[in-house]
Structure 1
Amino acid sequence: MPAPPAALRRGPFRPGAFRSPAHGPRTAVVLGRWLGAALLLCFATGLISHLLQDPPGWLAPHLPPRPVNGYRTTQGLHVIAGLAAVPLAGAKLWTVYPRLFEWPPARGVLHLLERLSIALLVAAVLLELFTGLLNTLQWYPWPFPFRQTHYWTAWTAVGALLVHLAVKAPVIAAHWRRAGAVPPSVPPPVPPPVPPSVPPSGRRAVLAATAAAVGAVTLTTAGQSVPWLRALDLFAPRRPGTGGLPVNRTAAQAGTTAVPADWRLAVDGPAGYLIGLGGLRGLPQTTADLPIACVEGWSADARWTGVRLSDLLRRAGIPAGSAVRITSLEAEGPYRVTEMPAPYADDPLTLLALDLDGRPLTPDHGFPARIVAPNRPGVLQTKWVARIEAV
């Protein structure tokens, strides 16, 4: 493709328009390392959390209820890494944006495919970070389903990232180490021409500012899932431990503020039965310290007291090793009916909870009874339980 007329080779299109080391390959590689680590951690923890929340049929019987804080840890890390990736992605795009003004735009088919793959990578990462950020606020101003879109966009972003790494491997290898840190047996890469009057301080300033931004974002938001950082939890959407255990869906939103006075739990099985609140309180009670951990990234500890789910199932003649279906009193909602794999149903820490922190459940926390299980996403800790049955 011929060069454009000299009149067009002005501003950002002129040769040597971006000469600062802040836009150089070394800066891009360092920021790429940080961003790549955040994205891969976000992807790995998000995949684990997704499988815990929506496991395929072959995996469900093998999900582990321990460690108790497993989901809390993976989802907390997922949101922490995702928030840290926001300033990292902004810094990385700022560093490489001069490439938008390269001429010619495509030097051939392979170069064109490379640039299209980068466009796909940027679009997928920005969509992933944007939707994930708004999910922490429980704000969904789009017509598509968040969870499914977020999941498949993550696979798209990781695939495009791997392609990008393969294409840029020579550049990454050449600029992976600082100048002077290359082993003597390896000749140092030849840096792009930079006028002597431009010192590398611009690169250091960009990296320092980016590190400071990531640290600030992490320290002021991670407290929603890391208890010892609660004092710094200034900008996270939730502040667990302030004003009691947070709730995502209130009784008013679920339409369960008026529980019938004659409420009775139905436990369906070979020896199925109905039992009221007084009858449940008359059964052996168990107390367990279990966290509530939600997909938005926040988590909080609580002390629950109630009847072991396994005791209720055995009384109904449901054998050990059975998965169960749990139905809520709420009229509608994506988690009105949930299924619990056998390892959770049989775990002695899985409770039909009646009390929270020594007091009867309030309507917002699931009165008259709710499910609490270890290593389980908060949306699956069914509130306002009406029926339990073997699958």
Structure 2
Amino acid sequence: MRDRPSLPTSPRFWRSPLRGPWFTSVLGLVLLVGVTVLFVTGLLSYAAYNPGLSPVNDTTPGKGVLGFYLFPWPTGPVWLYRFTQGLHVTLGVTLVPVLLAKLWSVVPRLFALPPARSLAHALERISLLLLVGGGLFEFTTGVLNVQLEYVFPGSFYPLHFYGAWVFFAAFLAHVALKAPAAVRTVRRRRTGAGAAQEQPVHARDVREEGALRGAAREEGVREEGDLVAPLPDPPTVSRRGALALVGGGSLLLFLTTVGQSLGGPFRRTALLAPHGGPDPAGGPNGFQINKTAAYAGIDPAETGEDAWRLVVTGRTGTVRLDRARLLRMPLHSSSLPIACVEGWSTADQWWRGVRLRDLAALVGYDGDPPDVLVESLQRHGAFRRAALRANQVADGRSLLALFVNGEELSPDHGHPARIIVPAAPGVLNTKWVARLTFGDL
């Protein structure tokens, strides 16, 4: 019986017959595509929050060098944020098994000695540590936020934002160093040795990996560490079987997550999502919410017909509007979804209320309306105040909604009035609105 070395720094410590350049390369190429899509959709999500608009939106960092890409978030198509954020969250959850398998496949390299053979090698090892640490941090914080159980100190938004830049910078460095060799490895396996019928890992696969390493050396490609175990344990599954297992895990996560973005009957399949399952109640107000009136600290006495007033401030002063006055104004309807950063969204709901641009006209903005600061009655939770851009105010589908699906808003959906804006993140569709301030923010 072969004795296993006690330290992971020894190549003989690692006995799995599954590890090898081909297995690692396939996982790496999948992550190359997936992580790039995650990064792009994540940046779009931050742009949708309009972080550079007003200090109240600065929960999402957007200033300085890292805000170079920011642009006014459009209001169309109305499903834009529903699609980009749904893709971001669903793909992130789906890639978790691939990420874990990739980290497992290269873990011997993390313990390889000496830690640095040259300056270039030292820089590569540092980038690898940032890549592994950043990847685990981004996926962990993202999953916790989706599950509404975020427990890390500080705000999720800046931590996830800056962590994404660190992770992606290390990811790009790793891709530049490893992607060419990974592509060659996969091509060589597919066109040459891969044409043979599958045999046990310790026989055919190990011979192929030896041939691959030999060819790599002939091409002057230096492999960092040896992923193929010199003394492998008896195999229990082939490398293709292991990839199928990883793919099956990703498919299972996809099927139990994507329904919260698709909505409708598919929501029942979102077993692992906090907003999966059927809609929370029947009737016109029976669709998903993030926080209830009780959680937000809404006092029913403040939202009653006699007590509630909407305060609108702008160029010509301030007006106070009760519900009866609002109902005498021209009412308009919009069919819009709600989509949140956690990845869940609703189907289109039929909203009815007063256009934001008509409210801006009451306080002196008869032409192009300006930005607006929206303030809520809520006492608990983030985004008690939110700012909307002028293009969002000017869109005729942007409403101070009083009704949904033909009925008054319920308390949990923002009674007596809430904001609804096409293509905006859900938190910018402020509920329990108390004040609108138009003008420079």
TM > 0.5 between the two?
Answer: yes
What secondary structure is seen at the aligned counterpart in 2 of 1:23? coil
Distance change (3 Å), C-alpha of 1:156 and 1:305: same
Distance 2:13 2:310 in 1: 73
Distance 1:181 1:253 in 2: 60
The one-letter code of the counterpart of 2:312 is V
The one-letter code of the counterpart of 2:375 is T
**Which of 357, 370, 373 is the equivalent residue of 1:325?**
373
**Partner in structure 1 of residue 56 of structure 2:** none
Distance 1:142 1:106 in 2: 33
**Partner in structure 2 of residue 344 of structure 1:** 392
Distance change (3 Å), C-alpha of 1:25 and 1:200: farther
**Partner in structure 1 of residue 23 of structure 2:** 27
**Partner in structure 2 of residue 290 of structure 1:** 336
**Partner in structure 2 of residue 115 of structure 1:** 125
Whether contact under 8 Å (2:312, 2:318) holds in the other structure is yes
The one-letter code of the counterpart of 1:298 is W
Identity of aligned residues (%): 41
Whether contact under 8 Å (1:322, 1:342) holds in the other structure is yes
Matched, 1:257 2:310: no
Whether contact under 8 Å (1:65, 1:375) holds in the other structure is yes
Deviates further, 278-287 or 40-49: 278-287
Alignment of 1:47-66 (within 5 A): 47-57=43-53, 62-66=72-76
**Partner in structure 1 of residue 433 of structure 2:** 385
What secondary structure is seen at the aligned counterpart in 2 of 1:367? coil
**Partner in structure 1 of residue 362 of structure 2:** 315
Q: Deviations over 1:329-377 (max 9, x none)?
A: 2246531221111111010100110112221111111111000000101
Whether contact under 8 Å (2:295, 2:380) holds in the other structure is no
C-alpha RMSD of the superposition: 2.8
The one-letter code of the counterpart of 1:312 is L
**Partner in structure 2 of residue 215 of structure 1:** 251
The one-letter code of the counterpart of 1:364 is D
Whether contact under 8 Å (1:61, 1:341) holds in the other structure is no
**Which of 209, 212, 216 is the equivalent residue of 1:191?**
212
Aligned residues: 380
Whether contact under 8 Å (1:365, 1:383) holds in the other structure is yes
Alignment of 1:1-391 (within 5 A): 15=11, 18=14, 22-57=18-53, 62-181=72-191, 190-192=211-213, 202-227=238-263, 229-239=266-276, 241-243=278-280, 244-258=286-300, 259-260=302-303, 261-269=306-314, 270=316, 272-301=318-347, 302-318=349-365, 319-331=367-379, 333-391=381-439
Q: Deviations over 1:191-234 (max 9, x none)?
A: 14879x98996210111011111110001111000236334222
What secondary structure is seen at the aligned counterpart in 1 of 2:24? helix
Distance 1:267 1:297 in 2: 32
The one-letter code of the counterpart of 1:267 is V
Whether contact under 8 Å (2:148, 2:274) holds in the other structure is no
Distance 1:300 1:223 in 2: 11
Whether contact under 8 Å (2:94, 2:253) holds in the other structure is yes
Which residues of structure 2 form unaligned runs of 5+? 54-67, 193-208, 215-227, 281-285
The one-letter code of the counterpart of 1:356 is V
Q: Shift of residue 142 of structure 1?
A: 2.1
Distance change (3 Å), C-alpha of 1:282 and 1:241: farther
Distance 2:375 2:273 in 1: 32
Distance change (3 Å), C-alpha of 1:329 and 1:17: closer
Distance 2:17 2:154 in 1: 41
**Partner in structure 1 of residue 197 of structure 2:** none
What secondary structure is seen at the aligned counterpart in 2 of 1:287? strand
TM-score (norm 1): 0.88
